[in-house]
Structure 1
Amino acid sequence: MSRFTTRELAIIAIALEDEERSARNNRRRYWVHKMLKARHAEGEFWQIQRHILDDEEKFYIYFHMNRYLFDYILSFIEKDITKKNTKFRQAITPIEKIAVTLRYMITGSSARTLSSSFRLGESTIRSIIQEVCNAIINKLMGIFIPTPIEERWKSIAQGFQDRWNFPNCIGAIDGKHVNIIAPANSGSLYFNYKKHFSVVLMAVVDDKYRFIIVDIGAFGRNSDGGIFASSKLARRLESNSLHIPNDKPLPGSNRNIPHVFIGDEAFPLMKNLMRPYPRCRGLSEAQTIFNERLSRARKVVEDAFGILYQKFSIYNKNINVNPIHVDTLILATCILHNIMRNYEIEYLDQHEMQQPIHHNENGFLQPILENEMNSAENAFNIRDLFSSYFQSPEGQVSWLHQNIQ
């Protein structure tokens, strides 16, 4: 017979269970998982550092940019992403942080997958991506997506005239849905007409596929027109505070015409925003030519989105990130896109990159005062003036005019 009472046996059982649980927890308690300890020997970054950092071709395939451009970006954000070593652990280097972030953007791999390949904790991977994106925005946005001033608009207008046969055009505008994993308790806010959850990247693009203005984070359920109506761009257009140059004659004419953005049918017709003539009714030859010219020039914004998606495969998957951090991620990729475009367009032949001029608020011209041209009626008149000009000897392009006839 037992020498212990039932109560005493229960107490002993509880004590033994607590002791076993404590021992089990102690066995789990470690500073770094043994897999992560092998980072310098087996981690992806340290492998590529040994094999491809000095191979320009392999480097480009891996990072979608050459080593010079990588180092150029590093030089701007290195201080912001550098941490000190401690006696307990060695800090992750800035170059490794950029490598992790670029591979996340380029491959679209999850933080969990990158955790295994880079031998870093999953939460560490997420923290690195957010840290690097914030540094890119803080240090590089003012340089590569600066608020345009009058001279910048004039340069863009000249580019649209020379490359796309649409004079007085200062940018093409469109929206792009970026698919995300449905945020918790968001209902149908992010659910779009394509049956996906998304946030919207609305952008104005110049004649060389670079982002001029970006508006990020609108709910996927909203239309492009609705997003535009509530955007800062629309408000600044209405108040004439975008520093758009004064009206100027189209080439070969003497009638002053406003500088305009161009968009598709989702956008409103405004003094400084042209959209196609409605296709639901029969169009005249002049209207058809106008629509063709506008469509050809507006294609630059669709192509810019295409380049962005090709460079960064994160866009080809449902991004599993809090919407606040999604906005940061998208903006960082837009800045990187512009950096790459600037290098490819302006500096590739010279084999060097000079820092672009950073214009701040003190360098802006005074806003143009509102005038009588802002009414809807005048917007229709402006479109008709473009339409007539495109049929005139001064404004027509032979290849399109012959095809229409």
Structure 2
Amino acid sequence: MRKCIPVQERFAIALRFLATGDSYTSLSYLFKVSIQTVSSCVTDVCKALIKELSQEIKLPRTSSDWLRIEKGFRRTWNFPHCLGAIDGKHVLIQSPIHSGSEFINYHKTFSVVLMALVDADYNFIFVDCGCQGRISDGGVYRNTNLYKQICRKELGFPPPDCLPLKVTPLPYIFVADSAFALTENMMKPYAGTHNKGSKERVFNYRLSRARRIVENVFGIMSAVFRVLRKPMLLQPDIVTDIVMTCALLHNFLRRSKRSRLIYTPPGSFDTENDDGEIQPGSWRDDQNGVASLLPLQNRPRRAPLSAKNIRDQLAEYFITNGAVAWQNNY
């Protein structure tokens, strides 16, 4: 009778897979177990970690919790009224059996979509993974529980408030790139090229600084969990569990000071010098050859008039209040 594989070895197999992205065949040879055993270990350990770490990623539910996140964006990134940076990535997979064109994305490859919202301290506060790659970028967001709860006003957002030195109350918002639609709760850059010193260019610069957080989180996660760096030869439900496990482990490793310094040592994230110039984080040096985590498609979208007015007022605030000296370079 074959001996039962110890729990420690099952975790070692699964964590080795997440950290390296090695094939099941390679892991089978390394640990001297069957491919089926490797598959079972990866699946079971991921499900166990998702259950155990489920509270590592959770949406704020009260106005005071959201305001703590807003305080981080306002102090660190000079972007008031921001409750999070949102972005999505296509996680490439093999063609699922009998799926037809269900998972084919705009790159003509197969994928599931990872949608994430992060706070000012590089932590996930919402993750959704598993939406089929064929669904449009806007459709992916509208299919998330985050969007549905926003529409039902269940998230406890702070009521609209005035910007410093302003008198018009504005709603609190997320920041995103041009792949998303401009709405009252979602700000994206102005399209096109704008003159130096214009409110549009300054707004785009400020938004880019705040939105870069989510880009850094994706970069760090794929640099450490290298299974995310190439297409996965697995079924979509297993890929979804793997991606969710990586996201939960990201927050878990960022929670304590000791593990944070090991997982994201100084220099890992993008920083700015005193002149406002971006100093690339170390994760960017490790992105050559990354074949997975493709960006969502960027397409121009017409915004409601009220959403445009909110963006214009934020842009006007940035150009007239709270500016720093090197902002004049933008």
TM-score when normalising by structure 1: 0.67
Which stretch of structure 1 is more off in the superposition, 99-108 or 147-156?
A: 147-156
For 1:160 and 1:304, locate their aligned partners in 2 and report how far apart those are by CA, in whole Å: 15
Identity fraction in percent: 40
Q: Which runs of 5+ in 2 are unaligned?
A: 263-302
The question of whether the paired residues in 1 share the 8 Å contact of 2:194 and 2:201 is answered with: no
What does residue range 249-398 of structure 1 map to in structure 2 within 5 Å?
249-279=162-192, 285-344=198-257, 376-392=304-320, 394-398=321-325
Tell me the matched-pair count: 289
What does residue range 57-68 of structure 1 map to in structure 2 within 5 Å?
none
Local SS of the residue matching 1:209: coil
* Distance change >3 Å, CA 248–CA 94, structure 1 → 2: farther
Per-residue CA deviation, residues 1-36 of structure 1 (Å, 9 max, x unaligned), is xxxxxxxxxxxxxxxxxxxxxxxxxxxxxxxxxxxx
The question of whether the paired residues in 1 share the 8 Å contact of 2:254 and 2:260 is answered with: no
**Which residue does 1:117 correspond to in 2?**
30
* Distance change >3 Å, CA 347–CA 281, structure 1 → 2: closer
**Which residue does 1:205 correspond to in 2?**
118
Q: Looking at both structures, which has the greater relative contact order when contacts are Cα pairs under 8 Å and sequence separation is at least 6?
A: 2
What does residue range 146-157 of structure 1 map to in structure 2 within 5 Å?
146-150=58-62, 151-157=64-70
Structural RMSD (CA): 2.3
- Residue 329 of structure 2 corresponds to residue 403 of structure 1: yes
- Whose radius of gyration is greater, 1 or 2? 1
* Distance change >3 Å, CA 348–CA 302, structure 1 → 2: closer
Q: Which runs of 5+ in 1 are unaligned?
A: 1-87, 350-374
Deviation of 1:268 (Å): 1.3
For 1:282 and 1:185, locate their aligned partners in 2 and report how far apart those are by CA, in whole Å: 51
For 2:254 and 2:107, locate their aligned partners in 1 and report how far apart those are by CA, in whole Å: 30
* Distance change >3 Å, CA 348–CA 106, structure 1 → 2: closer
Local SS of the residue matching 1:201: strand
What does residue range 94-243 of structure 1 map to in structure 2 within 5 Å?
94-142=7-55, 144-150=56-62, 151-243=64-156
The question of whether the paired residues in 2 share the 8 Å contact of 1:101 and 1:128 is answered with: yes
Per-residue CA deviation, residues 207-242 of structure 1 (Å, 9 max, x unaligned), is 122111111111222332221123222222222212
* Distance change >3 Å, CA 267–CA 104, structure 1 → 2: same
The question of whether the paired residues in 1 share the 8 Å contact of 2:84 and 2:175 is answered with: yes
Local SS of the residue matching 1:117: helix
Per-residue CA deviation, residues 74-101 of structure 1 (Å, 9 max, x unaligned), is xxxxxxxxxxxxxx44432222221111
